[in-house]
Amino acid sequence: EIRYYLPENGQASIILTDMAGTPVKEILPARNLLGGTHILSLEEGYFDALPAGDYRLVLAWEGSKAAGILHMGTTYQAADGLYAQETPAADSPVMQDAPAVPAVPADSGDAAENSAPTAITPALRSAYTADHKACYWCTPMDIADEEAVWAMLTAPVTVVDINQREQALLYAEPDTASEAIAVITGASQAVHVLEEKNGWTLVEAYSSSFHDSKVKNWNAFVAGYIQSSKLKKVTVNQDYGIVIDKLTQRLYLFHEGHMMAELLVSTGLYNDRQPYNETRSGEFLIISRVGDFKSDELVCAMGLRFNSGDLLHEVPHTLNADGSKNYKKCESKLGTRASHGCIRVQRKRNADGINMRWLWDNIKVGTKLVVWEDYQGRQIVPPADDTPVYYNPDGGSSYHAAANCKGVKDQYLPLTALTYGELETEAFSRLTACDYCCPPMRKGEIEAINEEHLNSSPGEIMAFWVDEKKK
């Protein structure tokens, strides 16, 4: 990543030149940016194609320039003299060193596995530095921090003041003649407000591009401009809030400051023909109660709309010849990506009796629902080995999060305790996770997810698509 400082708002750009000053690569095209420290994230291997040698990173801002030296060899790094100045002057831009990332010793074992995850926020891809309190975009995606998550879930939001099935355009510049770079869904999708000037507001959001949207920028994180007159601030429900995490494929229900329940979900699974199946991340409001609807042969019950065509609903079922419901096709996929963009929620009641039916009966319009992107670098922290889980020693095939799981017959309750660490022993190796009470994933499953996210961001569709075609 490249860090740089701008003393105030203005037009900035970054290019790479050779040591003679000849341009080699445009890194940041000229654009209007806010004053302050910015972080520009680059893809791994961004500079790999460059021949070995020394280069200059040149930051231009409102007629002023700052530069740093980049050494390219078998590996590359910024030279010691990267700073144009050690301390930002009042009227000069500055290139800054990126923060050091501590290495994990090769033999660190459990210490590394149980360390806290990186505090990655939804604004990871932002070129701006904001420190807004109780803000979805600035709050780390850490479900264990109940206080911070609850403050975020109950904070007001800024939405586009149009119909909930309409979409507004975001523009590359404060001008309707400029390129439209994203679409924002009316009434329910919140935006991150950065700056308001001359009737235009600079905002950040994930583009809510559906198959029929005017802009095909699937789930892309963007910063763009919208007419200020189209925006309004809205207060949200103060009793409940919902977090959907693509990393864990879980729904986390919060009530009055604390996490109340954890349920299995399936978010969108895109494919080559349908990149728009990826669930759009961001900050939303439950905006209307749709109820049951059909998607081909699937019946999706108790739909709660939060983003135009994206709804929260019960895991779909088909109808048998006798009219009874059959959940086999979709229920086994809960806990993994599987939907067409909606969020499928488990129908089976957890130990506290919570499932999609409970959400339908209790969650009101105006409740905030946020979707966390599973960015590269995010990691699931496994439970401590002494965390209690439960099983039925009388022939049970599952392990459970609760001693009184609703999925077990009363005659076998309460269940017998064992530790999470014991699940790895031969005696308990065949137990599978209960699909009622949503116990923690096994270590091997967590390790596989974490390994995938060391090198990729599965939900960033636009990293793989250009002009509606796969790269």
Rounded Cα gap, residues 58 and 430, in angstroms: 58
DSSP category for residue 461: G
d(CA 219, CA 146): 27
Give backbone dihedrals phi and psi of 135, rounded to 5 degrees, phi first. -115, 130
Instruction: Write the CB contacts of 103 (distance below 8 Å, at least 6 apart in sequence).
Output: none
pLDDT score of 173 more than 80: yes
Per-residue pLDDT for 329 more than 80? yes
Say what percent of the chain tops pLDDT 70. Answer: 86
Residues 6+ apart with CB under 8 A from 80: none
- The average pLDDT across 366-378 equals 97
How far is it, in rounded angstroms, from Cα 354 to Cα 436?
Answer: 10
Residue in 333, 292, 297 with CA at minimum distance from that of residue 314? 292
Say which range, 95-109, 231-245, 305-319, 427-441, has the weakest mean pLDDT.
95-109
Task: Tell me which residue has tokens 């009227």.
Answer: 91
pLDDT computed for residue 249 by the predictor: 99
**81 belongs to a structural domain:** yes
Is pLDDT of 91 > 50? yes
Does residue 145 or residue 2 have the better pLDDT?
Answer: 145
Q: Is the pLDDT at 109 greater than 50, yes or no?
A: no
Q: The whole model's pTM is what?
A: 0.77
Q: Is the pLDDT score of 71 beyond 90?
A: no
Query: Across the strands, what pairs with 71?
Result: 54, 77
In the predicted structure, residue 465 carries a pLDDT above the cut 60: no
Task: State the Cα–Cα distance between residues 461 and 73, nearest whole angstrom.
Answer: 31
132 has a pLDDT exceeding 50? yes
179 in any annotated domain: no
Residue that finishes a domain, picked among 96, 113, 145: 96
Give the other-Cβ count within 10 Å of 300's Cβ: 23
Does residue 397 contact residue 432 with C-beta atoms inside 8 Å? yes
pLDDT greater than 70 at residue 398? yes
Does any domain span residue 465? no
Whether the pLDDT of residue 117 is over 90: the answer is no
CA distances from 318 to 14, 292, 326 (A): 55, 13, 5
Virtual torsion, Cα 286, 290, 291, 294, nearest 10 deg: -120
Looking at 42, 76, 96, which one is the last position of a domain?
96
Instruction: Write down the pLDDT at residue 463.
Output: 55
Q: Is the pLDDT of residue 342 over 90?
A: yes
* pLDDT for 104: 34
Give the integer Cα–Cα distance in Å for 137 and 283: 9
Q: Which helix (H) or strand (E) holds 160?
A: strand 157-160
Question: Is residue 288 a part of any domain in this protein?
Answer: no
Taking residues 43-69, report their average pLDDT: 79
Where in the sequence is the domain holding 6, given as residue range(s)? 2-96
pLDDT of 201: 98
Distance CA 268, CA 286 (A): 18
Confidence of residue 37 (pLDDT cuts 50, 70, 90): low
- The pLDDT-based confidence of 320 (bands split at 50, 70, 90) is very high
pLDDT at 116 over 80: no
Q: Which helix (H) or strand (E) holds 360?
A: helix 356-362
- How high is the pLDDT of residue 73? 59
pLDDT at 426 over 90: yes
Each residue's pLDDT tens digit, 234-281: 999 999 999 999 999 999 999 999 999 999 999 999 998 899 999 999
Residue 36 CB contacts under 8 Å (≥ 6 apart), including other chains: 5, 6, 128, 129
Q: Which of 39, 72, 96 represents a domain boundary (last residue)?
A: 96
CA 71, chain centre distance (Å) = 34
The confidence score (pLDDT) of residue 93 equals 59
Query: H or E stretch including 153?
Result: helix 146-153
- pLDDT of 111 higher than 50: no
CA–CA separation, 205 and 221 (whole Å)? 6
How are beta strands 432-433 and 398-400 bridged, if at all? parallel
92 pLDDT exceeds 80? Answer: no
- What is the overall mean pLDDT for the chain? 87
Q: Is the pLDDT of residue 286 over 80?
A: yes
Q: Among residues 307, 368, 374, which one has the least CA distance to residue 343? A: 307
Which pLDDT value is given to residue 292?
96
- Tell me what the mean pLDDT of segment 309-337 comes to: 97
Question: How many CA atoms, within 13 angstroms, populate the side-chain half-sphere of residue 224?
Answer: 23
CA proximity to 50, closest of 74, 22, 81, 20: 74
| pLDDT number for residue 2 | 77
Average pLDDT score over residue span 322-351: 97
Look at the chain and report how many structural domains it folds into.
2
Task: Judge whether 405 lies within some domain.
Answer: yes
Comparing 29-43, 131-145, 383-397, 430-444, the range with the smallest average pLDDT is 29-43
The whole-number pLDDT of residue 35 equals 66
Structure tokens at 133: 């309190």
Structural contact between residues 230 and 160, judged by C-beta atoms closer than 8 angstroms:
yes
Q: pLDDT, tens digit, for every residue of 77-90?
A: 443 333 333 333 44
- Would the pLDDT of 179 be above 70? yes
Reference 393, options 420, 417, 423, 425; nearest CA is: 417
The reported pLDDT for the residue numbered 36 is 64
CATH number assigned to the domain comprising residue 86: 2.60.40
Residue 334 is assigned to a structural domain of this protein: no
Residue 103 lies in a domain: no
pLDDT at site 464: 47
* Confidence band, pLDDT 50/70/90 cuts, at residue 10: confident
Please state, in angstroms and as integers, the Cα–Cα distance from residue 94 to each residue in 20, 35, 38, 41, 71, following that order: 21, 11, 10, 17, 19
Q: Worst-scoring range by mean pLDDT, 20-29, 133-142, 426-435?
A: 20-29
Domain membership of residue 279 (yes or no) is no
Rounded to whole angstroms, the Cα distance separating 417 from 435 reads 18
Contact by Cβ (8 Å): 332, 374: no
